[in-house]
Chain A
C-alpha cells in the first residue's frame, strides 16, 4: 500500500473514532488525547493529521454530509416515483440512525449545538453541501416530474429534514416506544402527503 493511501486510511479512522467520541461524550468533554488514546496513537502524530480539535470537528461534518449525500444521490438516480424516493430517503436516514447513530447524532448534538466551533470555515451550507445539494436535486426532480408542489425550498426542506431529525432526536432521548424503523411507513406517507401537488 502506498504511503498516501495509508495516510488516507488513517485519516478516515481518526474521523470515525472522533465522530464516535464527540457524539457519545459531547464535543467539549472530548479531548485530543482521548481521541489519540482510543486510536492507540500519539497526540503529536494525531496533530499531523488535524491541526486542532475544531478543524477535526469541521472535517467530520463534511465527512458525514458526504456519506449521507452519497446515499441520497443513489436514490436520486433511481427510476422510481417521487413517493417511492421519499420512502427510500426516510428508510436510509432511519437505518443510518440505527446502525451508525453517531453520524446523525453528530449533526444534531455537535454541529447544531456548538455553532461557535463551526462559524469560521463552516458558515451556512459550506460543510453540509454534499447533503444539501442532493436534497435540492430530489426536490427539483420531484417538482419537474409533477409530483411535488412548487414552493420555497426551505419550507419543504424544514418539513422533510426537521421531521426526520426530530424523530432521531427522540430516539436518542430513548422516548420512542418503538424501534425507529417502525415509523418509516407512516412518516414517509406524511411527508409525501404534505409535499405533493
Chain B
C-alpha cells in the first residue's frame, strides 16, 4: 500500500549536531523537551526545598545560599511556580511525550512541520535560560508569583526583584508563548493531516486525543498571554498605564493613572485557566491508555472519554473568573463563573468513573506504570474534591489566600500531572531506550512519592482552614499562626523524604538506559502503533512503510481472539455471519 515516494521527506541525519542538537526528528526533539523538563523539575524542586526549609528555620544559615530573606523567599516562590507550570507541566507531558509519541501513534513519519518543531524546542530553551538568568541580575528574582499580578509586577520600584528580574520574567514568558504557539499548531496540523490509513478519529488512542485537545487549548490561550505580557512590558518600560492605577510606592506618587489591575487578572487567567488543563489533559490521556492496557480491558466508554476531553477543553475557557473572586470583579460574573466551574466537575467525574469502570473486573497487572496511573486517579480525585469548595465565592473568599488553595492546586495540577509524567516515563521507557526500568526501584519510588506527596499537601488543607496565609515567608511573629508550625515542620520532613526518593528515580532513569533489562518490541502487550515498530523506532518511525490500521486502540480480551490483545494493525477479522 505504501508507495516509495511516501516515505519520510528528510533523510536520516549524519553528523552529531544534526542528529542530536538541531535535529528535525520528532523523537529527538521529544527527548530534548523531556530532558529540559527534567532539569527544570529538579531546579523547581530545589527551590521548593529551600522554601520549606525557610518556613520552619527562618534564620538558618544555609550552605551556598546563606540566610533566606523574605524577598528571597518570594523570589523562590515566583521562580518555583513559573518553572514548574511552564517548563515542567507544559513541557514534559505535551511537548515531550506528545512530540515523541503523537506521530508514531497515528502512523506518521514525523510532525507536519519538522523545522518549526526544532525551532519550538530551541525557543523554549531560550525562554528557560532567560527565566533562570533572573536569579543572577541585580535585585534578584521577581516577587510577584507565577501569576505576576499588577500593579506589583508593573512597577520597577515596587521591590528588589521587580527591576530587571521582572523584565526577564515577562520576556521569558513571552518567548515561551511563541514557542508553545509553534508547538501547538504543529500538533494540530499533524493530527489533522497525517493519520495513517484506517486511523479514523474514533480510532485514535486517548493519548492522541488528549494531546490534540491540549494543543488547541494552547493555540487559543497563549496568544492572549502574549498580548497581556506585551502590555505589561509597555507599562514597565514605556510608562503606559494599562494595569496601573494611581499608586503611591514608598511615599512617592507614581506617574501612572487610570489603569486597572483587574484587566491583567482577566487577561492572565483567560490564559491561566486553560493552562491548568494544558497541564492535566495529557496526564488524563496517559492514565486512560495505561489503565486500559494494564487492566487488559477496553477503556470503559471510549466515546464518553473523548467527549469529556472536548467538554473539559471547551468549558476550560469559561471558568477563568474563579481565580478572581477576591479581586473585586463584578458579582454577577462571579456567579456565572461559579456555576460553570461546578459544571466542569461533570466531565471530570465522567472520566474518573470511566477509569474506575475500566479497572473493575479487569485482570489488573500492577506494574509501575499502572501504579502511577492509579496514583494519578487518586490524586486527581483528592485534589479535585476541594475544587467544588473553591468554586463557590462564599467559601473561596475565606480560603483563597490560604494554604487550602496551595494544597488544592498542588494535588490536582502539580502532583497529579507529575504522576502522569512518571507513568508515561515508566510505560514508554522501553520503547524510547530499548530497556526496561528497574521495577523494584520504581515501586519504591511510587509508594514513597504517593505517601510523601499526600503527607505534604493534605495538611495544607487544614492549615488553610485554620487561617494560615500563603506567600508569607515566616510565621513566627503571629501568635495564632505559631501554633501551626508543628504541622509545617511535619510537611518539611515529608518533603525531605519525597525529594530524596526522586533521586532514586533519577538514578533508575540513567542506570536503566545503560544497564536495564533488554525489552522486546512490545513488552506490555499493548495495542497501539508505537508497539508495532522497532525499538527504538527508526528515523521515519516505521522503516519506510506506513501502517494500515484495522482496529480501535483498546481491543483487549476480545472474545474468541487468539491472545488477549489485538494490535491496531492486526488484519481485520472476517465479518461473522
Please indicate whether A and B come from the same complex rather than being unrelated chains.
no
